[in-house]
Amino acid sequence: MKYSIIVPIYKVEKYLPQCIESVLRQTFADFELILVDDGSPDNCGAVCKHYEASDKRVRIITRENGGLSAARNSGIAAARGEYLIFLDSDDYWINKNGLELIDRAASENAADAVFWLYKKVEENDNAFADGIPEDFAVDFVTNKSVLTPFFRDKRLVSCAWDVAVSKKLFENGKLDFEPGVYSEDVEWLARLIMCAESFAFAKLVLNAYRLRGSSITKNIGEKNLQDLNSHYGKIAGYIDSAGEDTASALKIYLGEQAANYILALASFESDAVKPYTESEVIRFIRFCKSKRARLVKASAGVFGVPGTVSLIKKLILKR
């Protein structure tokens, strides 16, 4: 079996059929679809059973609620495919040829990881961005320093659902997800860059990333900031131990994360943000390359991080 597609499921009854059907209609058929019911209290379990009964490629794992990371890890342990792909259950695939194009990139290059692109959609499925880069030229790289422009241009983002990863990289838990934390994909992507030796990039917009008001990625609280700082500290450690090419790529990545972190501080409802303005990640902002990140860096250089946070709140967020 070539691909294991792992879908963690919790309270997404409204969106789940669209997610599942977008996978089952793929023109490339050599895959298994692992539906991980993470103790969902709604009708998701019945939806999963319906599709399991109608398509032999569907497998169900039922577990007590443990969160996104734990659900993904259950899928990893059960996966039989040569490559693993993660798909959030409130998102869906928009190209029925997507898996075929991914397989072409993976097979032609024997790549450890194959990345693709996505578009954002509002909850009502009105698309407003697709993110296709006009100068998308590099298809396959083994020199990790070449990854830096992909971080700079936002072609590599801190998520786990835009990449197919060789199962061999998951051996001994090397790419398991950390349970009980927010933004687990931030640190996981850095670990993937450390583990993989070759990368392919498919000029393909596959995922529709749904923006929901109840999504954990849209609600910033103190634990979010604590977990982000933990992730950043681990990535800084990876940089210290990595080779030159890998370290170069991860510095750019962490520089972009530093700018995102400052923006997150501005979104924080509490006034108690001062301790978090001294995060270790701030020192990496000098490596950021994207236009938005450089604007944040310039502001931080003039007004400091607390001043930049206040400025963003007043001018952009109108708080």
* Domain match, 209 and 68 both: yes
Please give the distance of CA 184 from its chain centroid, rounded to a whole number.
9
* Domain match, 272 and 248 both: yes
* Domain match, 125 and 204 both: yes
Question: Tokens 């072609």 identify what position?
Answer: 155
258 residue type, one letter = A
Q: Which domain, by its residues, includes 253?
A: 220-315
* Domain match, 178 and 224 both: no
pLDDT tens sequence for the chain (319 residues): 999 999 999 999 999 999 999 999 999 999 999 999 999 999 999 999 999 999 999 999 999 999 999 999 999 999 999 999 999 999 999 999 999 999 999 998 889 999 998 888 887 766 665 554 545 555 677 767 667 767 766 667 889 999 999 999 999 999 999 999 999 999 999 999 999 998 888 888 899 999 876 554 456 788 998 999 999 999 999 999 999 888 988 998 898 888 888 888 887 766 677 788 888 788 888 888 777 788 888 998 888 888 888 888 777 666 5
Please tell me the distance from the alpha carbon of residue 254 to that of residue 236, in angstroms, as a whole number: 8
* Domain match, 162 and 173 both: yes
Run of H or E residues at 74:
helix 68-78
Look up the pTM and report it.
0.92
* Domain match, 85 and 124 both: yes
Domain C-terminal end among 182, 217, 252:
217
- The structural domain count of the chain equals 2
Please tell me the distance from the alpha carbon of residue 183 to that of residue 231, in angstroms, as a whole number: 8
* Domain match, 28 and 119 both: yes
* Domain match, 8 and 138 both: yes
Question: Tokens 């990535």 identify what position?
Answer: 235
Contact between residue 158 and residue 150 where contact means Cβ atoms under 8 Å apart = no
* Domain match, 204 and 231 both: no
Domain C-terminal end among 160, 192, 217:
217
* Domain match, 161 and 205 both: yes
Nearest to 136 by CA among 149, 123, 125: 149
Beta bridge partners of 140: 200
Domain C-terminal end among 171, 193, 217:
217
Note the pLDDT of residue 129: 57
Note the pLDDT of residue 195: 94
Run of H or E residues at 226:
helix 222-241
Note the pLDDT of residue 132: 47
